[in-house]
Amino acid sequence: MASGGRWRSRSALRSLFLLVTLVLNIKLMLFIFGPEEPAVPPRNLTVLIWHWPFYRPLDLTGDVCADLYNIKRCHLTADREKYNFSDVVVFHHVELVKEGQVVATMARPPGQKWVWATLESPSNIRGVSKWNNIFNWTLSYREDADIFVPYGRMVPRSSPNTYNFNRTGMAAWVVSHYKKTQERAQFVHELSSHLNVDIYGRANRRPLCPTCLIPTVSHYFFYLALENSVHRDYITEKLWQNSFTAGAVPVVLGPPRENYERFVPSDSFIHISDFPSPKDLTKFLLTMAPQRYRQFFRWREELEVKLYTDWRERFCMICTKYTSLQQNKVYTDLEGWFNKSDQQQ
Ligand SMILES: *[C@@H]1O[C@H](CO)[C@@H](O)[C@H](O)[C@H]1NC(C)=O
Ligand SMILES: *[C@@H]1O[C@H](CO)[C@@H](O)[C@H](O)[C@H]1NC(C)=O
Ligand SMILES: *[C@@H]1O[C@H](CO)[C@@H](O)[C@H](O)[C@H]1NC(C)=O
Ligand SMILES: *[C@@H]1O[C@H](CO)[C@@H](O)[C@H](O)[C@H]1NC(C)=O
Ligand SMILES: *[C@@H]1O[C@H](CO)[C@@H](O)[C@H](O)[C@H]1NC(C)=O
């Protein structure tokens, strides 16, 4: 009787264990979205890049999309002479604004799609409303953009999991544009009265060369991944690169925790709103047992980070979505759509 009961409870325990493992795995799998093999368009597509983002041209010799990103039948060009033969023309917002409204009146070959591209948040760009009724598709970090291009994403681990726990500093923050009035500056100010925060960047007269950032941050337990503005899905390289790639645990300020959890495992980051005050957060950071700290690295057993940093890859991604997108779409209220990211959820 007793042993039967024990057996039953043991088997119940085993079922529970299996269930928990299954749920955990499904949870991990959820971050792996998008087809691994990109969709191949039925014919060769030509994507014309109207302006190079920030006027920084990149090399387009060879079959760039196929050679670098395994995206086939996708030809990128920056040659405006090819306008009449382009399936897609992509306009990056910053330069578009500088060049003015003339492009809006250009005659369009039938079926050609115009893509509005930006990776900036609504707080960082201006003049979007002038571009209503012009664009067919959007390319952005917003998950609901036609071409969703995040700053990074979780993919199944393919390379060995190499990181160490050799840390000498507590928390690091890298900032280039520092404004005292910003929420994040006030947060760091409060935090640093309880915690040792090393601040790098031009603003603080401690510049870091671009290749020094990752090695520097990798000596810290925590990285303050504070977004410059709070908008849905606006989760930038501050999380993906400065924290995850460097191997420091991110302390994030940005959209709500649930929004982060759409893209990364819940135990890969610390959200400042998990704590009632910076003081409580500091207490958690300072008193964390090594065991707890290691838990923030568990996702790395199965997942790794893929960064999206090259504009050519972002533009090649237009081709992978081309056939699945609505073909006769028009953004009548582009700014309204873009502003919608302010609504949390
Ligand atoms: C499509 O592009 C590939 C190179 O990417 C080229 O070899 C092939 O000839 C093209 N096909 C057509 C029909 O233009
Ligand atoms: C595209 O075609 C239009 C109409 O056929 C023509 O007026 C225009 O000059 C062409 N543009 C280029 C860049 O070839
Ligand atoms: C740990 O980091 C310190 C400081 O960067 C370095 O001097 C030391 O050699 C490292 N130790 C190991 C075991 O990597
Ligand atoms: C793209 O948008 C323009 C401007 O609103 C519109 O005139 C055109 O029909 C759209 N093109 C396609 C292929 O849907
Ligand atoms: C979008 O947001 C900006 C800045 O908050 C505001 O000025 C503008 O009126 C908004 N536009 C729309 C269409 O909601």
Task: Give the pLDDT score at 315.
Answer: 98
Buried b (16+ CB within 10 A) or exposed e, 211-242: eebeebbbebbbbbbbbbebbbbbbbbbbbbb
Candidate list 37, 95, 120, 237, residue with the active-site label: 120
Q: How far is CA 117 from CA 121, 129, 170, 216, in A?
A: 12, 14, 37, 32
What is the phi-psi region of residue 271: left when phi exceeds 0, alpha when psi lies from -120 to 50, beta otherwise?
beta
- The residue to mutate among 164, 166, 214, 221, having the most atoms of ligand 3 within 8 angstroms of its beta carbon, is 166
Cβ 113 vs Cβ 138: under 8 Å: no
Instruction: Find all residues with CB under 8 Å of 164, minimum gap 6, and list them.
Output: none
| Active-site annotation holds for 120 | yes
Predicted TM-score of the model (pTM) = 0.87
Q: Whose CA is nearest to atom 5 of ligand 2?
A: 84
Domains of the chain, with CATH numbers?
45-149+309-343 (3.40.50), 154-307 (3.40.50.11660)
Task: Give the pLDDT score at 202.
Answer: 75
Instruction: Find all residues with CB under 8 Å of 310, minimum gap 6, and list them.
Output: 58, 68
> Burial of 295 by CB count in 10 Å (0-12 exposed, 13-18 middle, 19+ buried)?
middle
Give the residues surrounding ligand 4 with Cβ less than 6 Å away. 111, 113-114, 133-134, 136, 327-330
3-state secondary structure string across the chain: CHHHHHHHHHHHHHHHHHHHHHHHHHHHHCCCCCCCCCCCCCCCEEEEECCCHHHCCCCCCCCHHHHHHCCCCEEEECCHHHHHHCCEEEEEHHHHHHHCCHHHHCCCCCCCEEEEECCCCCCCCCCCHHHCCCCCEEEECCCCCCEECCCEEEEECCCCCCCCCCCCEEEEEECCCCCCCCHHHHHHHHHCCCCCEEEEEHHHCECCCCCCHHHHHCCEEEEEEECCCCCCCCCCHHHHHHHHHCCCEEEEECCCHHHHCCCCCHHHCEEHHHCCCHHHHHHHHHHCCHHHHHHCCHHHHCEEEEECCCHHHHHHHHHHHHCCCCCCCCCCCHHHHHHHHHCCC
Q: Whose CA is nearest to atom 13 of ligand 3?
A: 166
Residue by residue, pLDDT tens for the chain (345 residues) are 344 444 455 555 556 555 555 555 555 555 555 445 567 888 999 999 999 999 999 999 999 999 999 999 999 999 999 999 999 999 999 999 998 888 888 999 999 999 999 999 999 999 999 999 999 999 999 999 999 999 999 999 998 888 788 899 999 999 877 777 778 888 898 999 989 999 998 776 788 888 999 999 999 999 999 999 999 999 999 999 999 999 999 999 999 999 999 999 999 999 999 999 999 999 999 999 999 999 999 999 999 999 999 999 999 999 999 999 988 999 999 999 999 877 543
- The residue to mutate among 44, 61, 85, having the most atoms of ligand 1 within 8 angstroms of its beta carbon, is 44
Task: Give the pLDDT score at 278.
Answer: 92
Q: Whose CA is nearest to atom 8 of ligand 2?
A: 84
Task: Give the pLDDT score at 101.
Answer: 81
Q: Whose CA is nearest to atom 9 of ligand 2?
A: 84
